[in-house]
Amino acid sequence: MSQIREAIDRAELKEKLARAVCLFLAEMLRTRKLNLDRSAEIAARVVERLDKIETELNFLEAVRQLEFEFQELNILEQDLINLYGMSERKKMENYVRQYAIHRLPNNPEAAVEIMEEALKPDTTLDDLAAKFSEFAKFLEKF
């Protein structure tokens, strides 16, 4: 069952990334920063690599490699960095929320403490797991 969920997650990720590229190329066409031929060439090269993509980080690396050939992708790279950071943050917040719900009845202080730490802008999931051993154990279930 988890393999099916992983396959669905990968397909959703690829669709999301493909949509991001399409929106980027559409905006570049709209603002006349790209012509149709160049846009089609970039899209074809991105699609070639899409099947090998497993994570957002893989996709960001692929865009960085393509940037040597297509300098226009520098703007997309920045957009993806922002998108990747946002999705990692959302994932962390989701795990913290689930953990807090789990811990709140038995140990409200621990739930509040981890939520306060998660609110700090530079905090990552790894930081929280390193600081809170019970949270790290909780994450192992996922």
Do 68 and 124 lie in one domain? The reply is: no
Do 93 and 61 lie in one domain? The reply is: no
Do 79 and 104 lie in one domain? The reply is: no
pTM of the model: 0.55
Do 104 and 42 lie in one domain? The reply is: no
Residue 23: what residue type? L
98-119 pLDDT per residue, tens: 888 888 888 888 888 999 998 8
Task: Count CB-CB contacts under 10 A for residue 61.
Answer: 14
User: Which CA distances in Å does 67 have to 58, 91, 116, 128?
Assistant: 14, 28, 39, 34
Overall number of domains in the chain: 2
Position with higher pLDDT, 42 vs 121: 42
- Domain coverage including residue 97: 88-139
Do 98 and 127 lie in one domain? The reply is: yes
Q: What is the DSSP letter of 33?
A: S
Do 92 and 130 lie in one domain? The reply is: yes
Phi-psi region of 107 (alpha: psi -120 to 50; beta: other; left: phi over 0): beta
Do 92 and 28 lie in one domain? The reply is: no
The CA distance from 83 to 55, in Å, is 13
116-133 pLDDT per residue, tens: 998 887 888 889 999 999
Do 79 and 92 lie in one domain? The reply is: no
The CA distance from 15 to 54, in Å, is 12
Do 92 and 79 lie in one domain? The reply is: no
